[in-house]
Amino acid sequence: MQPRSRLLRSVPAWLTFLFLADLLGLMPTLAEGTDACAFWPGDEIAAEDLENDRIPVTTSRSGLDHWREMTVASSKRQPQWVSPLITITPALLSQVRYDVYDQTKSNGNKSWDFGNGKGISFLPLPALEVLIGLPQYLYTPTGEGLTGLRGENFAIKGRILSAPEDQGNYVLSLYLGALSPTGTIPAREPSDHWVWTPMILFGKGWGNFDMMLNLGTQYADGDNRNLATFFLYSLALQYRIGRISPSVEISSGPTITRFLFFGTPGLFVTPQLLLGPFPAGAGLSFSGGIGYQIALNQVSLLEQYANALIVSFRMLF
C-alpha cells in the first residue's frame, strides 16, 4: 500500500505541472489543420453560429499567444462601439487611456484634471476586465490646498450578456469601482476611507445608432453621511459615421465631499466627437475624443465648475 499512497500524493503535483506546461505552450498541440471550437462565458451566441467561430489551433503558441487569442475572441462577441468620454462602456476593453480636463469655474478661474481616474484595462478572463488607474493629478493655481494627487482608482467589470451588431447588438455588465484613501488633497479626498461605486452597465444599438446607460450608487467603509450617495447615472447617445461618432452625454457625478439626491452637484451635459479606432498593426489601434462639458444646475456651478474642455487618448491592444 505504501507505493500506491505515494503515487496518489504525486497526482496534484503532476496536474500542476501539466497545467503550467500547457499555459506556456510547452504541451503538444493538435495536428495541423485540426479545429478547436472556443466558447466563452458572458455572451449569448446561437448554437448554429459556433461553426463560424471555430478557431484553428496552431503550433508553438506561448502564453501571450493564448491570451491574445482569448481577447480577440471575446471582443468578437460584443458590439464594437467607441467608449464615450464620461459614461463607462459596458463592453470589455484592453486599452491604455488618459483623459485631460480643462475646467473653468463660475468665477472664471481655471483648474485642470490630468488622468481623471483612467488608466490600464486588460482582460484576465474572457468575460472580466480589470482597471488599474494611472496617477490622477489635480491642479488649481488659485486655490490653496486644492492641488495634488487624487487617490488611486481600481475597477473590475464583468460581462453578463452580449451579442455583436449582427446578432442583437447589446451588452449587459456589472461594474465595481474603488477609490483609495491615498490622495494628497485633504479638502477633496476621504482621508481614512475607501469609496466604492457598484453599477449596472447596459448598452443597446440599432444600426449605426447606440445608447449606453450607467446606473449605480456610491458608499464608503465609513463616514457615509458625507461620502455616500443613493443614486448615480450617466447616459450616452452616439451615431457612427465611418470612424467618426458624434455623441452627447448627460451625467450625474457628485463631488466626493457632498452627495445629495436632489440638486446633486455634478449634473452635466457633454456634446462630443469620438474618433477611431484606427488600426496601427501588431494588434494595436488608437482612438480618442474631444468634448465640451456644461453644468446644468447652480450647485454644479458653485461646487465643481461651469464648463470643461475634455480630451481623451486611447491605445487599444
Task: State how many domains the chain has.
Answer: 2
Mean pLDDT for the stretch of residues 120-148: 92
In a domain, 69, yes or no: no
In a domain, 76, yes or no: no
What does the DSSP 8-state code read for residue 56? Answer: E
Q: Please give the pLDDT value at position 56.
A: 53
Owning domain of residue 37 = 2-61
More confident site: 36 or 150: 150
Q: Is the pLDDT of residue 155 over 80?
A: yes
pLDDT, tens digit (0-9, with 9 covering 90-100), for 53-73: 555 555 567 888 899 999 999
Both 264 and 132 in a single domain? yes
Both 21 and 156 in a single domain? no
3-state helix, strand, coil in the chain (%, to 5): 15, 45, 40
Q: Exposed, middle or buried, 34 (CB in 10 Å: 0-12/13-18/19+)?
A: exposed
In a domain, 72, yes or no: no
Both 35 and 99 in a single domain? no
Both 10 and 139 in a single domain? no
What does the DSSP 8-state code read for residue 32? Answer: T
Q: Is 144 helix (H, G, I), strand (E, B) or coil?
A: coil
Within the chain, residue ranges assigned H as helices are 2-23, 63-75, 224-227, 298-303
pLDDT, tens digit (0-9, with 9 covering 90-100), for 285-312: 999 999 999 998 887 877 789 999 999 9
Q: Is the pLDDT of residue 128 over 90?
A: yes
Q: Please give the pLDDT value at position 232.
A: 85
Smallest Cα–Cα separation from 81: which of 250, 309, 236?
Answer: 236
- Label residue 31 by pLDDT band (50, 70, 90): very low
In a domain, 237, yes or no: yes
Q: Is the pLDDT of residue 52 over 80?
A: no
Average pLDDT, the chain: 82
| Domain end call among 10, 45, 61 | 61
More confident site: 255 or 243: 243
pLDDT, tens digit (0-9, with 9 covering 90-100), for 159-203: 999 999 999 999 999 999 999 988 888 666 666 889 999 999 999
Which stretches of 140-228 are assigned E, i.e. beta strand?
148-149, 153-163, 170-179, 195-206, 209-220
Both 211 and 303 in a single domain? yes
Q: How far is CA 122 from CA 70, 129, 157, 158, 186, in A?
A: 12, 6, 10, 12, 31
In a domain, 245, yes or no: yes
Q: Please give the pLDDT value at position 295.
A: 92
Q: Which range among 98-112, 137-151, 167-181, 243-257 shows the weakest confidence by mean pLDDT?
A: 243-257
Q: How far apart (Å, rounded) are the C-alpha atoms in residues 240 and 242?
A: 6
Q: Please give the pLDDT value at position 189.
A: 62
- Label residue 28 by pLDDT band (50, 70, 90): very low
In a domain, 79, yes or no: no
In a domain, 78, yes or no: no
Share of the chain above pLDDT 90, in %: 57
